[in-house]
């Protein structure tokens, strides 16, 4: 599948690969950066702003004839089921983001097992489609929580996108492969892992594939990283959150650094997303993972 012709391209960044585009469907007040001051018990007191954000994303995707993966938090799905149905009806993949947005180290193996079961049941009931993909909140599948790979395999999920191969104060596995691979858990169970896009700077993996990184960095720099992945024979994984298209959202109580991370360049997100949609072909994570299963992928042990 080749990229669609685009009269606005021509900057040399377009390639012939089908990359992956995903949206972590959660509310702005559910981010880990605010968790210390915004209790889950208080979430219902905050203004919900997710509906117009997801609707705008769907409009953009439809305008560019692009399908994407919506990684939906169960808490949101219970309250905004129409967004799940609408996304699925328009041909987009529905994947699980768990139920409560708690990091894996906080819920443990049995808690993850319960959230995988409950979120899959809820999302499949709403979408009418099988759910086989998962992304842990805050990319919290690390060496410390490698048991999550075994739990995912036990629960019958087909792929994961929870490992960021970078150094970060909250998450990351710096030595993990940058590209799709078989993630091997402590018990030896394996799961296809689809890491977000990184680039190499001074022999170090630098995150570039979404979230605040995409908002902070120039769009053309991100585009060059996407094209570089294609030249090496790898699809890039890009991720965003619907709240990142909402510069008017209320300011949350959080520390100065966390507030900057959360709000930097919110007004530019839609423009950057549109730029990427014009220049690259994107598909759903499950369709890309299905093709990767027919290839000889490297294995990496997290246990």
Domain boundaries, the chain: 18-296
pTM comes to: 0.93
**Residue 224, C-beta contacts closer than 8 angstroms, at least 6 positions apart:** 13
Q: What's the chain's length in residues? A: 303
* C-alpha distance across the termini of the chain, in Å: 36
d(CA 253, CA 255): 7
Number of helical (H) and strand (E) elements in the chain, helices listed first: 10, 12
Q: Say how many C-beta atoms besides its own lie within 10 A of residue 296's C-beta.
A: 6
What backbone torsions phi and psi does residue 238 show, to the nearest 5 degrees?
Answer: -110, 140
Q: For 145-172, what is each residue's pLDDT tens digit?
A: 999 999 999 999 999 999 999 988 788 8
The architecture of the domain spanning 18-296 is Alpha-Beta Barrel (3.20)
Identify which of 216, 192, 225 has the alpha carbon closest to the alpha carbon of residue 272. Answer: 216
Q: For 206-258, what is each residue's pLDDT tens digit?
A: 999 998 989 999 999 999 999 999 999 999 999 999 999 999 999 999 989 88
What backbone torsions phi and psi does residue 65 show, to the nearest 5 degrees?
Answer: 50, 50
Percent of the chain whose pLDDT exceeds 90: 84
């Amino acid at each position: 599948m080749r990229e669609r012709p685009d009269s606005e391209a021509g900057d040399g960044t377009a390639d012939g690969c089908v990359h992956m585009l995903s949206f972590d469907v959660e509310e702005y007040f559910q981010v880990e950066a605010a968790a210390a001051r915004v209790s889950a018990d208080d979430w219902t007191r905050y203004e919900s702003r997710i509906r117009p954000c997801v609707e705008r994303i769907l409009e953009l995707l439809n305008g560019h004839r692009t399908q994407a993966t919506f990684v939906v938090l169960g808490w949101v799905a219970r309250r905004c089921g129409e967004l799940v149905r609408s996304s699925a009806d328009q041909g987009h993949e529905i994947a699980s983001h768990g139920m409560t947005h708690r990091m894996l180290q906080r819920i443990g193996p049995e808690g993850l097992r319960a959230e995988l079961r409950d979120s899959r049941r809820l999302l499949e009931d709403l979408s009418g489609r099988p759910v086989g993909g998962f992304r842990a909140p805050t990319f919290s599948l690390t060496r410390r929580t490698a048991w999550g790979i075994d739990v995912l395999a036990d629960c019958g999920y087909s792929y994961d996108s929870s490992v960021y191969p970078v150094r970060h104060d909250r998450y990351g596995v710096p030595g993990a492969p940058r590209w799709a691979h078989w993630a091997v858990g402590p018990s030896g169970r394996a799961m296809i892992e689809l890491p977000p896009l990184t680039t190499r700077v001074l022999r170090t993996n630098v995150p570039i594939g979404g979230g605040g990184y995409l908002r902070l960095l120039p769009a053309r720099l991100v585009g060059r990283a996407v094209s570089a992945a294609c030249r090496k024979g790898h699809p890039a994984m890009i991720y965003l959150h619907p709240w990142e298209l909402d510069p008017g959202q209320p300011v949350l109580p959080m520390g100065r650094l966390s507030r900057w991370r959360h709000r930097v360049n919110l007004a530019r997100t839609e423009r950057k997303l549109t730029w990427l949609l014009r220049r690259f072909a994107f598909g759903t994570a499950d369709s890309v993972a299905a093709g990767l299963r027919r290839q000889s992928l490297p294995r990496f042990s997290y246990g």
